[in-house]
Structure 1
Amino acid sequence: MSTRHLADLPSRIESDPFCAARRVDPYWEGMFATGSSDGWVSASQHRRAPASQMRWSGIPTRYVTGQEEALKEMRTNRHRPSILAALGAVSSWRTVTREQLACIAGSRVMGNTYPAALSAPFSAGLLAHGYVSAGMNRLAPASQRMSMWTVGDQIDAYAQYRKSLTFAEHIAITGGQDWNSEHRFDRHNVLTTELALRVAEFCDVATVLGEKQVSLASLLAASGLQAQQADLGRRADAGIVRRDGLVIALETTASVGEAFRRKMAKWVQILQRHPTYELPLVVLVVDVSTPSQATSAAAKNTANFEIQAAIREAVRDYPGTSLNRTASRLGMVSWADWFPGPHEVSSSFEELTASFLARGTDDGEEGWRPVRLLDENELHYREGSADAGETIAMNARILAGSPYWLRPGTVPRTDQYLLDQVDGNRIDALTDPSLPDRMTGPGFTQPVAGRKWRRLVSVAPTPEFLTDA
């Protein structure tokens, strides 16, 4: 199996200082020693801190303003596209490094430690800022230390900010779901985001989706089905959408315990209950145990063994049917299999080759077989079509958390959706959809000069049905 540098792969990003080959490698360069980071600071904490401690946060004094003042500023058009990009990124991916945020938004400025555009959402409590405090990073000068963004601690502030957003902007940030904070495992989130960005940059996929968009309820709703009550909160860590509409749900894990085994058993139960024509889903477990474990033969074998054992046990208890074998819908791969060294990539990554149980196939009843997940002949999805993949990609284009190079193209008519909800069939919608600035361009960060009005619906002369009364 050949290995190349990320810079040698053909990239879908034309010009970006924060493409994968230039970003810090969060796995091999020791950004995280454990699953969580202790370097988070919110504006509310900064305001409460004594003056003698504020300087240790690293936050410039003028960066933090009052919450009401910040919300007032956010209701203007100043830095509006950049704010949408940042809020959409943390909403979809939970935790992003500043380099990942710059890559998603397509903006050099967002790669700065404290970009001016994010002062207002940080001060309002919608964003929290943190430094990676592990390894060599903690010894670097503050200006060069890797930092991260996530959802802030003032969840209620979004309800106030929401009043100043168009419907399209609200959907761009949240995807129509609640604004909430769940960033407990920073290493897990950053590695998941990094993997999705690398897939979006180098692989031939329709789109990638953050955790918020890969819920079981949403996937089943596309087939007109409802998730069971116990499964309403179930979601994968991220999703990769194939061109034919098949969703590869990523489950990243650094350790295997009883909770992980229960999770695998639950996923296999769901896969057995819903064939691909109801749930176009394949689950891929990605082993992201620390590099020290990956380079230790004993630890690596133990991690692989435990993941394989959990999958074997789940598939044994819920094998599915001859036309819907759960063994063919649950696979595994390790980070080191695809990325064997810092900024290195193996040939197996381009087609997303992973290991699946050979049970029930011509290869035999035991053992593991390699499967190229992006090969539609090797991992067949009978109900797939180019239209199915394009539909998901089209919906993802309006999300601010989607990588900027995946956003150009046809987008849904969000203005028409509002008219449909109020039975406004006799009102002409806008000729062009109402979208946030630069929604389909290279990013959300082009400044808006002066006042720019956003219309949701343009009504011509008063319709007769309104004047008849």
Structure 2
Amino acid sequence: MSTRTLTDVPGRIASDPFRAAQRADPYWEGMFATGSSDGWVSASQHRRAPASQMRWSGIPPRYVTSAADALKKMRTNRHRPSILAALGAVSSWRTVTREQLACIAGSRVMGNTYPAALSAPFSAGLLAHGYVSAGMNRLAPAAQRMSMWTVGDQIDTYAQYRKSLTFAEHIAITGGQDWNSEHRFDRHNVLTTELALRVAEFCDVATVLGEKQVSLPSMLAASGLQAQQADLGRRADAGIVRRDGLVIALETTASVGEAFRRKIAKWAQILQRHPTYELPLVVLVVDVSTPSQATSATAKNTANAEIQAAIREAVRDYPGTALNRTASRLGMVSWTEWFPGPHQASDSFEGLAASFLSRGADGNAEGWRPVRLLDEDELPYREGLASAGETIAMNARLLAGTPYWLRPGTVPRTDQYLLTHVDSDGIDALMGPAVPDRMTGPGFTQQVAGRKWRHLVSVE
């Protein structure tokens, strides 16, 4: 296996500050001691804290304003594109470092610890800010410590903010779904986001999707099917969309317990129930455990072996059929297989090579075979079409959580979507309404939410 530094791997990003080679490596630099972080601060906590504790937070004194004033500022056009970018990123990916946020938005300013543009959404409670508190990062000066953003604790505030948004802006933030907060497993979320950003930068894919967009009900709805009641909340951690429309659902894990085994078994059951013509999905488990998780000096990290055992058990219980083998749609890979060192990538990463169970293949009852997920010959999808992948990518261009270099191109007409719900045939001015201009340039400000709006209807 050959290895190259990320600097030497050709990618889609031209500007250095946003490339993976310039971002901190969240896996190899030991940014997280455990799955959760204790470094989060919300504006409501900051207001309740005594003056002595406010200094410990590191938040500039003038950064936190009253919630009412913050919401009033958010209703203006000042910093509007940057606010939409940040809200869309945390909505899709749950937790992002400031470097990842800058990369997704295509904005250098967003890479600052406390950008002025995010003071209002932070003060309104729509964003929460936290520091990575493990490893060397906790010893760094406050201005240089790696920080993160996530959804804030004032969920109901979004309903008030929503009244000042256009329909396109609301879609850019939420994808048309509810604004909500999930449990924060910061290491898990940051590693998942980093993996998706690296795939989007270095691999030939149609697009990548955050957790919010990879829900089972949404994917089944594309085929006109409804998810069962027990599966309404089921979603993967992220999604990689192949050029032919096949979705590679990522499930990242650092440990294997009973809950993880049940999750894998449930995915196997779903894959058995829905062939690829109903559910164009392959599930890939990514082992993000580290050797430091061993409980003693002589112990070994057994997460990889336990993941294999969980997949074997799930495939045994839900094998599928001859034309829809579960073993061909449920694979695994470890972080170190793709990224063997800090800011390094192996040759297996370019094609997303992973291991799949090969029961009965080549006389090996329990062997594992390598499969390059982006190779349509090694992982066939009979119903795949280039137009299917482009349709998903086109819809994803509306989302602020989509990396900025994947957003240029044709997008759906959101104004036409609204007009289909009313009878506009008799109104000539609505037959061809003016639409937003798409500004040029790399950043979110110049791609989705920062469109230069003309009047929707111009009557001479």
- Which TM bucket (shorter chain)? over 0.9
Equivalent residue number for residue 41 of structure 1: 41
1:280 Cα deviation after fit: 0.1
1:446 Cα deviation after fit: 5.7
Instruction: Report whether the alignment pairs 1:71 with 2:71.
Output: yes
Q: Which residue type is aligned with residue 215 of structure 1?
A: S
Pair 156,110 (structure 1): closer, same or farther in 2 beyond 3 Å: same
Equivalent residue number for residue 135 of structure 1: 135
1:430 Cα deviation after fit: 5.0
Residue correspondence of structure 1 range 138-217 to structure 2 within 5 A: 138-217=138-217
1:23 Cα deviation after fit: 0.3
**1:299 aligns to what SS in structure 2?**
coil
Q: Deviations over 1:236-281 (max 9, x none)?
A: 0000000000000000000000000000000000000000000000
1:299 Cα deviation after fit: 2.5
Counterparts of 2:291 and 2:443, CA distance in 1: 33
Question: CA contact under 8 A between 1:26 and 1:191: conserved in structure 2?
Answer: yes
Pair 329,279 (structure 1): closer, same or farther in 2 beyond 3 Å: same
1:164 Cα deviation after fit: 0.6
Equivalent residue number for residue 466 of structure 1: none
Equivalent residue number for residue 110 of structure 1: 110
Equivalent residue number for residue 58 of structure 1: 58
Question: CA contact under 8 A between 2:202 and 2:350: conserved in structure 1?
Answer: yes
Equivalent residue number for residue 458 of structure 1: 457
Q: Which residue type is aligned with residue 140 of structure 2?
A: A
Runs of 4+ in 1 over 6 A off after TM superposition: 294-297
**1:333 aligns to what SS in structure 2?**
strand
Pair 199,429 (structure 1): closer, same or farther in 2 beyond 3 Å: farther
Pair 15,431 (structure 1): closer, same or farther in 2 beyond 3 Å: farther
In the comparison of the two structures, how many residue pairs are matched?
456
1:452 Cα deviation after fit: 7.0
**2:282 aligns to what SS in structure 1?**
strand
Question: CA contact under 8 A between 1:206 and 1:242: conserved in structure 2?
Answer: yes
1:338 Cα deviation after fit: 0.4
Counterparts of 1:259 and 1:365, CA distance in 2: 27
**1:355 aligns to what SS in structure 2?**
strand
**2:300 aligns to what SS in structure 1?**
helix
Equivalent residue number for residue 263 of structure 1: 263
**TM-score, normalisation: structure 1:** 0.94
Counterparts of 1:358 and 1:44, CA distance in 2: 53
Q: Which runs of 5+ in 2 are unaligned?
A: none
Residue correspondence of structure 1 range 387-406 to structure 2 within 5 A: 387-406=387-406
Sequence identity of aligned pairs in percent?
Answer: 85
Q: Which residue type is aligned with residue 80 of structure 1?
A: R
Residue correspondence of structure 1 range 300-449 to structure 2 within 5 A: 300=301, 302-362=302-362, 364-427=364-427, 428-434=430-436, 438=439, 441-445=441-445
What's the RMSD between the two structures over aligned residues? 2.1
Pair 363,8 (structure 1): closer, same or farther in 2 beyond 3 Å: farther
Q: Which runs of 5+ in 1 are unaligned?
A: 462-469
Question: CA contact under 8 A between 1:97 and 1:148: conserved in structure 2?
Answer: yes
**2:384 aligns to what SS in structure 1?**
coil
Q: Deviations over 1:63-119 (max 9, x none)?
A: 011111011101110000000100000000000000000000001100000000000
**1:23 aligns to what SS in structure 2?**
coil
Question: CA contact under 8 A between 2:95 and 2:184: conserved in structure 1?
Answer: no
Counterparts of 2:283 and 2:297, CA distance in 1: 27
1:18 Cα deviation after fit: 2.6
Counterparts of 1:64 and 1:411, CA distance in 2: 36
**TM-score, normalisation: structure 2:** 0.95
Question: CA contact under 8 A between 1:127 and 1:152: conserved in structure 2?
Answer: yes
Equivalent residue number for residue 280 of structure 2: 280
Instruction: Report whether the alignment pairs 1:229 with 2:226.
Output: no
Q: Which residue type is aligned with residue 73 of structure 2?
A: E
Equivalent residue number for residue 249 of structure 1: 249
1:11 Cα deviation after fit: 1.0
Counterparts of 1:411 and 1:281, CA distance in 2: 24
Q: Deviations over 1:412-439 (max 9, x none)?
A: 010000001223344425555447x75x
Q: Which residue type is aligned with residue 358 of structure 1?
A: S
Q: Which residue type is aligned with residue 223 of structure 2?
A: S
Counterparts of 1:152 and 1:282, CA distance in 2: 32
Q: Which residue type is aligned with residue 329 of structure 1?
A: R
**1:378 aligns to what SS in structure 2?**
coil
